[in-house]
Amino acid sequence: MGKKAIYILMLLTGIIVILGCQIASKTEPTKWSVGILAASNAKAEKIVGFKQGLADLGITEGKDVTYIILNAQGEREQLLPLARKLVHEKPDVLVATGGVEADALKIAAENQNIPIVFIGAASTVQRGIVKSFIDPGAQITGVDNYHAELAGKRLELLKKLLPYVQKVIVIYDPNVPPGYTSLKIVQNTAKDLGIVIKTIAVSSRTDFKTKLNRQSVQNYDAILPLSSFLIETLTQDLLAFSWQNKIPVMGIIEQEADRGYFAAYGVSMYNQGYQGARIVAKVLQGQQPKQIPVETPDNLELVVNLRTVERLGLKLNETGLNFARIIIK
């Protein structure tokens, strides 16, 4: 064989080897796949925290795990169809970014034997997502964000920050378990603090616009929204109302204070996702969800927005401000 022929043969062999390596790298599957269901873009920070949590545990996107993320874009009726689509993909674990997502995934995955982990949901026992914290039952577990149980503490902190507060508007969704759970807690706390509350039940955006107006909040000192997917989607509307009517809103998560609520108390979206990653890692490594107790938040934060304090002309108690872990200036 001539030198030229040998050279061409070597060249072709090299090209085939290179192409083979490229094809292998493109088609080689990751070790695990994780299906994530989000009700809206508001859950984006949870997903960021979740991915980082897994990465810090040595489970890297693209190398160890592939994510399939479906977002209902605020359309609640799309959650169940999207949940069924995720189940059809047969991922190693399904991740719900909240309570409504967990409800949908639990229905869609019935009899499918796919583990489900929720990375921050409220009133998970009361709404039937799990049997109990210690014994979740079935193929589901996760992080209960305690949004409902912390409602009373939010009222207490509101009073510490603004001691003059005597009358509070409480907005809740009567169609979800966290609404009634947190309402009962707030009513008991208000009685202990000597605060008068007025409840406004909101079941839709129309309800919100009809029932919450200048007249309905006249002579009231603050607004306390309770945990619900609907009320979460109304954050920008409530913020606009707060600024227009010079009435402070005590929120649930850090992002709400970032956006302009006077203050918020709870576990951030990011931290819910980050904490939930620890549970998902256990499931990916072989543990059954029913063997993993439901967790409560690792980190609770009081966030105060001083820009909003100034904008609304609030008389803030400096002693109460000492309870804040994050101050937005």
Q: For the chain, what are the domain ranges?
A: 32-146+268-291, 149-266+301-327
Residues 142-184 have pLDDT tens digits of 999 999 999 999 999 999 999 999 999 999 999 988 898 999 9
User: 34 vs 50, 52, 69, 280, 288, CA distance in Å?
Assistant: 11, 14, 8, 9, 15
DSSP type of residue 29: P
Per-residue pLDDT band for 200 (boundaries 50, 70, 90) equals very high
Superfamily of domain 149-266+301-327: Response regulator (3.40.50.2300)
pLDDT attached to residue 215: 93
d(CA 180, CA 314) in angstroms, rounded, equals 30
Cβ atoms of residues 204 and 194 within 8 Å: no
Residues 213-246 have pLDDT tens digits of 999 999 999 999 999 999 999 999 999 999 999 9
Per-residue pLDDT band for 11 (boundaries 50, 70, 90) equals very low
pLDDT attached to residue 28: 61
- Helix crossing, 151-161 with 177-193: angle to 10°? 40
d(CA 96, CA 145) in angstroms, rounded, equals 13
Domains 32-146+268-291 and 149-266+301-327 share a fold: yes
Amino acid found at 165? V
d(CA 75, CA 107) in angstroms, rounded, equals 18
* DSSP helix/strand/coil, 166: coil
Cβ atoms of residues 168 and 217 within 8 Å: no
Residues 251-284 have pLDDT tens digits of 999 999 999 999 999 999 999 999 999 999 999 9
pLDDT attached to residue 25: 42
Cβ atoms of residues 244 and 213 within 8 Å: no
Among 41, 61, 42, which residue's Cα sits nearest to residue 51? 61
Record the tokens describing residue 44, joined without a space.
């984006």
Decide if pLDDT at 19 tops 60. Answer: no
d(CA 259, CA 251) in angstroms, rounded, equals 10
pLDDT attached to residue 177: 87
Residues 79-105 have pLDDT tens digits of 999 999 999 999 999 999 999 999 999
Give the global pTM. 0.88
d(CA 118, CA 139) in angstroms, rounded, equals 11
Q: Say how many CA atoms lie within 13 Å of 58 toward its Cβ.
A: 3
Where helices occur in the chain by DSSP H, the ranges are 3-27, 44-56, 79-88, 99-108, 151-161, 177-193, 205-211, 229-233, 235-245, 254-259, 269-284, 306-312, 318-321
Residues 28-73 have pLDDT tens digits of 678 999 999 999 999 999 999 999 999 999 999 999 999 999 999 9
Taking only Cα atoms into account, the Rg of the chain, rounded to an integer number of angstroms, comes to 24
Among 168, 225, 235, which residue's Cα sits nearest to residue 201? 225
Among 157, 99, 109, which residue's Cα sits nearest to residue 129? 99
State the DSSP H helix or E strand holding residue 68, giving kind and residue range, or none if neither. strand 65-71
Per-residue pLDDT band for 138 (boundaries 50, 70, 90) equals confident
Decide if pLDDT at 300 tops 90. Answer: yes
* CATH number corresponding to 32-146+268-291: 3.40.50.2300
Q: How many CB atoms lie within 10 A of CB 86?
A: 26
Percentage above 70 pLDDT, the chain: 91
Decide if pLDDT at 26 tops 70. Answer: no
Residues 104-121 have pLDDT tens digits of 999 999 989 999 999 999
